[in-house]
Chains A and B, each alone.
Chain A
Amino acid sequence: GENVEQHPSTLSVQEGDSAVIKCTYSDSASNYFPWYKQELGKRPQLIIDIRSNVGEKKDQRIAVTLNKTAKHFSLHITETQPEDSAVYFCAASSRLSGNQFYFGTGTSLTVIP
């Protein structure tokens, strides 16, 4: 089955700086890579996703890049704000897994004002 690794497990940045979270996956059949943000006591919410036919996707301060050859994808947050503080999970899924999401272990991001 798929194995998704996520690094770092914790990340502290100064407000206004950039944050980068990296994930690797093992199954070359994986073709959908969502990123979820989960604030304390809240539900996971999709912030951005990328499909395997695309190398990069941006949405305002958030971007995701995908390298299919190396089997890794990354979340980039620019101009970080205190409200970006949360736990971020990457995931991978494939047709073979029937849309079963394999989640990374999570990154706890703290943005210091």
Chain B
Amino acid sequence: DTEVTQTPKHLVMGMTNKKSLKCEQHMGHRAMYWYKQKAKKPPELMFVYSYEKLSINESVPSRFSPECPNSSLLNLHLHALQPEDSALYLCASSQDRVPTNEQFFGPGTRLTVL
């Protein structure tokens, strides 16, 4: 399996809802990433997990809470989001955090906050 998968593909939620995004890879990669992408903009890094430990948190608001239950899974828990949080949320993975390793992106979750 050489893909990163993400569920759900689309998510619509109200500002008081709690939801979770899920990402999975079975390539044996030990680094996993969450990005936020607005239309026609580059992906913005949110979190990096390396060997299941959070290693980078790019000053993301606490209404976004990442979790890495094991080396294949990455979750992003969402609570009390704002309409401006509507975006494409991309997960990526790489073999590890050696800088010359390609990051493989998942298809993303299109999130709409009402």
Contact = CB atoms under 8 A, between A and B. Distances in A.
Contacts of B97: 98-99
B110 to A, nearest CB: 8
A106 B41 contact: yes
**Chain A interface size range:** 20 to 34
A105 B42 contact: yes
Given A43-B108, A106-B41, A108-B40, A31 B100 contact: yes
Interface residues of B, number: 25
Given A32-B99, A99-B97, A106 B40 contact: yes
Given A44-B43, A98-B55, A49 B48 contact: no
Contacts of A43: 90, 105-108
A34 B103 CA distance: 9
Nearest to A45: B105
Contacts of B111: none
A93 B99 CA distance: 6
B98 interface: yes
Interface of B: 31, 40-43, 45, 48, 50, 55-56, 90, 94, 96-108
